[in-house]
Amino acid sequence: MVSKSDQTAEQTRLALDFVQFAVESGVLRFGEFKTKAGRMSPYFFNAGLFDDGAKMGRLAEFYAKAILASGMEFDMVFGPAYKGIPLAATVAVELARQGRNVPFAYNRKEAKDHGEGGTLVGAPLKGRVLIIDDVMSAGTAARESIALIKAAGATPHAIAIALDRQEKATENGHDVDHSAVQYVRGELGMQVCTIAKLADLLQYLAASGGGDEMKAHHERVLAYRERYGVGDH
């Protein structure tokens, strides 16, 4: 039986490996970027830049390992349009490769009026559904998926994302004292599995030994977290 400390250490290794992979792939960048909330962030994570077969395969492997390590229960996976579609498909393939074969489905933004019709594609939504997406900014996309899953008669049970920014969400243009992940966990009662968190990014930068440049990135990301962060969770 794996001890709690060994499990935590393994999850930390997975998170740090993922951060390194995201940086090397150009998906996680440092500089000055404006977020949806209007904040100037010293880093930017764009999962759309996992843009070839090798990167998508490795990304799916990180998702699958994090999902299986979390111990969360689910009966199928769902990918919200648009970024969630390739994520759900590739993660379902990788889960099957790791011995956990489950159905998957996704939605269209526009309803189809011919053929099978409707907005849902893939396996019928039923049982406990795991939503797979890239990041969670305000929880808006999560609420849309939850409504769609409930309307189909299934249970929105959990969400898996690549990176938890661990920062205050905004509502009606104002900062609130919780993150989108905390909102989904606390208010919507759903489990959230993340491959890595902002805390892992800071640990990676602190341990990278990349000289003055990495030290400067660490200082800026740390200052950003002190201003907008919600603490470790």
Q: Which sign, positive or negative, has the C-alpha torsion 49, 54, 57, 61?
A: negative
Query: How many CA atoms are closer than 13 Å to the CA of 230, on its beta-carbon side?
Result: 18
Q: Answer yes or no: 65 catalytic.
A: no
Given 4, 114, 217, 218, the catalytic residue: 114
Widest Cα–Cα separation across the chain: 59
Find the angle CA(91)-CA(19)-CA(4) to the nearest 5 degrees.
75
The answer to whether 78 and 149 have CB atoms below 8 angstroms apart is yes
Element spanning 110, H or E? strand 104-112
Q: Answer yes or no: 197 catalytic.
A: no
CA-closest candidate to residue 157, choices 121, 122, 193: 193
Active site residues: 112, 114
